Amino acid sequence: MRKYCEQCGKETETKVVSKRESYNVCGELIEVDAQVLVCSECGEEFFCEELDNATLVSAYNEYRRKHKLLLPEEIRKIREQYGLSQRSFAKLLNWGDKTICRYENGSIQDKAHNSILLFLREPENMRTYLTENEVALDEKQIRRILKTIEKLEENKEFRAGHRIFNLFFSNVPCEENGFKGFDYDKFCAMVLFFAHTSGELLKTKLMKLLNYSDMLFYKENGISISGMKYVHFPYGPVPDNFEILLGKMQADHIAHIEITCDNGYEKHQIIPERDIPLDEFSEEELKVLQRVYDKFAHFGSVEISEYSHKEKGYTSTKPGEIISYAYAKEIELDK
């Protein structure tokens, strides 16, 4: 940008330089790195409204950081998470009509106000505030906020559950998961496919069917279907942390286990609770699932266990070890 420089007495090129500046914020001197427009020949400073405003904002933010005050953006988020307008939020807090509006637009809030806002950031605290306080909102509005709080708390639990889930199931593709991050939806779809296709499906057989499907697909395509890791167990390969998955599938109403007694033996039967989400699968994936199903259709749990015990991946690993997809090349389903 060219500007007329008084100092040079002519129009010159300008540039932006960084400079340490002090600002008075609420009676306190705050130092910030200011961006200033100067004449590129003599260094004379020009007034530039945008840069000046930006510096002022960063001085205010520096002051907030120093005194641990919420940023305007954070105040807006607290209000919005409860679905409140600036005016209703101020009313709820018994503050002046424009107070929230001013804070969100950059005015520095006083300490007492900041503490209340910080407290109300937690939905649980907002519930206490609403129910154990005389609040200047009508009944209908209060009920609506309480409902929003319920939803927020559900989401929080959901996110916490999700974090735990991610601890157990890796999202990073590697040889142990068939070069695919674990895909819960796909895994559930596979379980539903086998549960619906088989008349009666026992847990032990399901684990083998899943293992063969992932391994065979990997052998032919270089990637697994579900991204599941399989572990060497006494009775064959088993999906890693299978019990956690079954618990989650039951909680999500996808499928559950029904235990019945059969001649003194416990039978763990898979009961599907949803239809097969066919659009989860590619054509190739479906074909592999169907081939695996057909191959073992008349195998009982014991027979399929014995069959899988002969696989190279199983004989080459010790109990408790992950069976790498590298062994998939040895699988011969059609022999």
Binding stretches for Zn ion (CB under 5 A): 5, 7-8, 39, 41-42, 44
Closer residue to Zn ion (CB): 4 or 119: 4
Query: In terms of C-beta distances under 8 Å and separation of at least 24 residues, what long-range contacts does 171-177 make, across chains too?
Result: 173/227, 175/324, 175/325, 175/326, 176/229, 176/322, 176/324, 176/325, 177/224, 177/227, 177/228, 177/229, 177/325
How do beta strands 236-239 and 255-262 pair?
unpaired
Closer residue to Zn ion (CB): 44 or 52: 44
Closer residue to Zn ion (CB): 7 or 315: 7
Q: How far is the CB of 4 from Zn ion (least distance, A)?
A: 9
Q: How far is the CB of 32 from Zn ion (least distance, A)?
A: 25
Structure tokens at 257: 């286990």
Q: How far is the CB of 47 from Zn ion (least distance, A)?
A: 14
Q: How far is the CB of 41 from Zn ion (least distance, A)?
A: 5
* CA angle 105–38–25, rounded 5-degree value: 30
Closer residue to Zn ion (CB): 39 or 145: 39
Q: How far apart are CA 310 and CA 299, in angstroms?
A: 15
Q: How far is the CB of 44 from Zn ion (least distance, A)?
A: 5
Backbone phi, then psi, for 286, in 5-degree steps? Answer: -60, -40
Alpha carbons within 13 A on the beta-carbon side of 260: 9
Closer residue to Zn ion (CB): 11 or 80: 11
